Structure 1
């Protein structure tokens, strides 16, 4: 490409998009890459501050920003994504369906360490809706050495960004607490948990209310498993009080304990275990009254069939403190995004 005065560019091919900005009124593309400059374009180009423009002068081994962006798109895009129109060397990645955004952060770092090309995303493990923009890629210079793109294609694993399906599971809920069982207080767990499950299309098959009796809780967990529960949620009895036996019951039913406790506030007394591939969650009392808790962080990942580890939970320590904002914007906030 070469730079020429706009007055001398008539008949030449524009090699980049040109943006027009009218403060408070308009920002968008005024001229598209590939446009052949006409005499009537000169006044408009000058009015938006362009006295010189780049016109295409093809050189072997160099790629225009838009052509390079297409190559990057093919490298970055995984499953569940579509992409927008290329503008000024930038392509937006758009969720093709509702789901859980998964970012390969190591591969993302690799590509951004190469220089001259960038990939930017929203946070990993964010639940997203169909049509939501989740990231973009852009080439920094107007033309780039093709070797840079070839290098990226060699060292970076394909599919940096993916949308995983959040599945609608059959959920059994076991609410423990002698005070609820005997009718001394009204159950508040059921409505709170049901609302969050229904948001993801889950079916709450059954809710059983039991006293703080370890053997009865163990028997109910086993019954739920036998009846085909795809996830079991145990609520209440999660503290260290003598009467709170839910954690012990979960362990004794034969489940493999991942963690009792998570570095998340609200939600420190959370328990995660698996009976085979069936997740069994122990939810602390905060789920009844706090807008957002550890349950909101873990639920979409569990529903996406991600088998969480102790490390996954430990990583929530950075960013796991909810600010309890007056206007909640979760998941588009810092809560649970530090890992």
Structure 2
């Protein structure tokens, strides 16, 4: 790469895209990398502020921004196990199912102005290896920017963008950074796999018909967004043994997740936490630093051939638009194990502001997850 005056660059080869910005109209490359500069190009280059320009000089120790962006893409989406076939990039790890799938989960956009974007090929839960991402971005002269991890993404969604900061970078520096992803990529998409859900409705007031069950329709609607449906539903009074038996029968019937609604507070009639404990499930946490949703309970029951989450949902999940339930549900539906310290980390960002216009998940609620 060599710097020279634009007026003297006729016949030289551009080594990067030249961007033209017209406010409110466009921002795009007026000339692409590899363009051979003509006499007619000089006024155009000067008009976009290019009094001097970089032209291409071969250097085997350096890598151009376009090629470097491809390396960063592979680190993001494939790790080091990648190859290219028929002009398309495929991840051997994804093709072999190493990350939970049998087909490509993401693909690159065409390189443009030294940038490549990572695009989702399927619906699912986005996982981001935060430590790897931070290490790569700490190298300097290179960057990968992603969406928040543990959020729902759809096919066609933009997941990340990659580029180097200068026009060229030392090959050995980029190679050193790439070793961070030797054991796997920074990004993964876990498909939603839970299809059979059970709802255990609790409370004397519902059981005896004093009020209508308004909780179950809310749960049904939200799990349907992830392709699941209710296959088991029973209503019990505030008898912990009946609730325990109901949970176990639901699991025996094939339920992959169990939601117990109501009875999660500290009143004498609130027996749901005890009932869940008596199933033999491992309690991850009773309580969460989230409002609405402080009385949430998460546990896992070992059914032998599968781990079944049993969740105790507080009443707020019925009448608040967004609660702890909305934060944990995508992970539960993707069978992504939730740990106690992850729930504890929800305190920062765990306060829903109940905005007049809800933009969740495109807001700060639950982003500590």
Specify if TM > 0.5.
yes
Residues 247-305 of structure 1 deviation map (CA, whole Å, 9 limit, x = unaligned):
10111112111111111111010001111101101000001111111111111101111
Which residues of structure 2 form unaligned runs of 5+? 79-93, 95-104
Counterpart in the other structure of 1:335: 365
Figure out how many residues of one structure are paired with residues of the other and give that number: 339
Match of 1:138 among 149, 163, 171: 163
Please provide the CA RMSD for this pair: 1.2
Counterpart in the other structure of 1:303: 333
TM-score for both structures, normalised by structure 1: 0.97
Residues 106-165 of structure 1 deviation map (CA, whole Å, 9 limit, x = unaligned):
111111111100111111111111111111111000111111111112244430011111
Counterpart in the other structure of 2:225: 199
- Structure 1 counterpart SS, 2:232: strand
Matched, 1:246 2:276: no
Counterpart in the other structure of 2:256: 230
Residues 168-219 of structure 1 deviation map (CA, whole Å, 9 limit, x = unaligned):
4200100101001111111110111111111111111132111111111111
- Structure 2 counterpart SS, 1:196: helix
Counterpart in the other structure of 1:260: 286
Matched, 1:45 2:45: yes
Counterpart in the other structure of 2:35: 35
Residues 82-113 of structure 1 deviation map (CA, whole Å, 9 limit, x = unaligned):
11111222111111111111000011111111
- In 2, Cα distance between the equivalents of 1:308 and 1:71? 32
Counterpart in the other structure of 1:57: 57
- Structure 2 counterpart SS, 1:296: helix
Matched, 1:315 2:355: no
Counterpart in the other structure of 1:151: 176
- In 2, Cα distance between the equivalents of 1:317 and 1:296? 15
Alpha-carbon offset, residue 52 of structure 1:
1.7
Alpha-carbon offset, residue 58 of structure 1:
1.3
- In 1, Cα distance between the equivalents of 2:73 and 2:149? 18
Counterpart in the other structure of 1:126: 151
